[in-house]
Amino acid sequence: MTTVAVLADPPVEGHVLPELADGPLDESEATALYTAMLADVCRAVEASGAELLVNYRPEEQAPDGVDPEQAVREPLDEALQAPDNARYEVQVGSSHAARVGNTVTHLLEREDVNTVAAVEPTAGLLTRQLVDSAAMKLRSAGVVLGPSTEGRVYYAGFAEPVDFEGAYATPSVQTLTERATDADLGADFLPSAPVVETPADLRTVVPLLRARHRAERVVPPRTTALIHELGLRVTADDELVRD
C-alpha cells in the first residue's frame, strides 16, 4: 500500500491561491476553490487503495489565530467517507522540497512504508485511477511523477528517498527525474494533469471540467460544482469570463 501525503495549507482567506485571488477571483472565491480541490484530492486518495496522510502546516506558519489542523480537518470531515481513517501530521521543513523530503524519508525509513507519494492539494483532477496506477508503477520504478503544466508535478511517488534539497526547483518534473536517475532508481510517469494555481491554470481547467461534465465523464464533484456556481467559462479568445 502506498501512503499518499497531501501537503495542505489552511484554507483561509488571504492565505491560499494568491495569484488567483488577485485577478479572476476574489479572496473568498479563491479560498472556496482551494477548499473544493483539497476535498476532491483527499477523497480520490481515500477511494483508492492508498493510505491518506494529510500534512498540515505548523502553527507558526499559519495565519494568526488559525488552528491549521482544525482548518484542514473541517472540510475533510465532510468530504471523506471515513474521516477517522485519515492520518493528520504536521509538516516539518522550511521549504516545499524539505517538507516533502522529511515526510517521505520518515515514512520509508522509520515506519517501513513500502512506497510514499506527495500530492499537491491543487491537483483537482486527481482520480482514484491515477493514484492506483502510480502504485502499480512504483513496483518497478523507484520514482513515479505526475507531470503538470509549466514543468510542475501534481504527484511524486518514491520507493526510496532521493536527495530532496532543491528537488522541486523549476522545472520540478525534470529536477525530480534527475534526482531519481542520479540515485539509480529509475523514473516513470503518469498522464499529465493540470494543477490550479494561476489564472492560466484556471483557463486550462475550466473548459476541461465543463467538457467532461457535459460528456457525463468522471469529474471532481466539488471543484466542478464551484466552477458552475461561479459561472466561469473560457471564451474563444482564451479569456476567462463569468456567465
Confidence at residue 1, expressed as pLDDT on a 0 to 100 scale:
86
| Range of weakest confidence among 63-67, 163-167, 228-232 | 63-67
Confidence at residue 4, expressed as pLDDT on a 0 to 100 scale:
98
What the block records as the C-alpha cell of 96 is 516545499
User: What contacts 35, CB < 8 A, 6 or more positions away?
Assistant: 11, 75, 222
What would the mean pLDDT of 66-73 be, rounded to a whole number?
Answer: 96
pLDDT above 90 (res 112): no
Which among 164, 166, 226 is positioned nearest to 196, based on CA atoms? Answer: 226
What would the mean pLDDT of 86-102 be, rounded to a whole number?
Answer: 96
**Which residues make beta-bridge pairs with 157?**
117, 144
pLDDT above 90 (res 243): no
Confidence at residue 57, expressed as pLDDT on a 0 to 100 scale:
94
Q: How many residues does the chain have?
A: 243
CA distance 120 to 130: 14
pTM for this one?
Answer: 0.96
Burial of 53 (0-12, 13-18, 19+ CB in 10 A): buried
What would the mean pLDDT of 124-147 be, rounded to a whole number?
Answer: 97
Confidence at residue 86, expressed as pLDDT on a 0 to 100 scale:
97
CA distance 166 to 154: 17
Task: Give me the sheet containing 143-147, strands edge to edge.
Answer: 87-90, 51-56, 2-8, 115-119, 153-158, 143-147, 187-189
Cβ atoms of 48 and 128 closer than 8 Å: yes
What pLDDT digit, counting tens, does each position of 219-237 carry?
999 999 999 999 999 999 9
pLDDT above 90 (res 67): yes
What would the mean pLDDT of 119-124 be, rounded to a whole number?
Answer: 96
pLDDT more than 70, % of the chain? 100
Residue type, 84: D
What would the mean pLDDT of 121-149 be, rounded to a whole number?
Answer: 97
